[in-house]
Structure 1
Amino acid sequence: MNIDWAALATVFGVSLVATVALVGLFTLGVTGLARRTPTAQGGGEAGALTRTGAYACFGLCLAAVAYGIYLIVA
């Protein structure tokens, strides 16, 4: 049995980077939803921008998961 250590290290590195990026994006999304500026108008312009950024982070997480499932199935 011959193990290609360079390929194994590459897979490990890519998996580590992808995991940290995905968790970081999700964390930014949760933080963005938790930090809304409370005003009478529902957060104002800054609140809407924060909420939009949080939803964009969640969308990127969904796209990354969908791409991963696509790679597994294809």
Structure 2
Amino acid sequence: MSVNWAALGEVFIVGLVSVAAVVALFATGIRGVSQRVAARAQGGSGAAGLTLALVCFTACSAVVLYGLFLIVAR
């Protein structure tokens, strides 16, 4: 039995980058929600924070769903 170390390394790097991207998107979405709450408390609309949160959470969901698609499709 032989291990393809190059393929294993590639999967590790892609997984690491994907996890970092999902975490960064989710954290930015949480920050957008926080900005909206702060703006609403000061009497503003908070539309920019809500838009940022929606974009980030949508992108985060798309990355997760694409990963599930890749797993199920095989």
What interval of TM-score do these two structures reach, taking the shorter chain for normalisation? 0.7 to 0.9
List aligned pairs for 1:26-65, cutoff 5 A.
Answer: 26-36=26-36, 37=39, 38-40=41-43, 43-44=44-45, 47-65=46-64
Structure 2 CA distance for aligned equivalents of residues 68 and 50 of structure 1: 27
Instruction: Give the alignment's TM-score, normalised by structure 1.
Output: 0.86
Name the TM-score, length of structure 2 as normaliser. 0.86
* Contact preservation (8 Å) 2:34, 2:49: no
- Say which structure is richer in helix: 2
- State, as a whole percentage, how many aligned pairs show the same letter: 47
Shift of 1:27: 0.4
CA distance in 2 between counterparts of 1:24 and 1:53 reads 13
**After the TM superposition, which segments of 4 or more aligned residues of structure 1 sit over 4 Å from their partners?**
none
The equivalent residue for 1:9 is: 9
2:19 is matched with: 19
| Equivalenced residues, count | 70
Amino acid at match of 1:10: E
1:66 — aligned with what? 65
Does the 8 Å contact 2:32/2:52 carry over to 1? yes
User: Gaps spanning 5+ residues in structure 2: where?
Assistant: none
The one-letter code sitting in structure 1 at the alignment partner of 2:54 is: Y
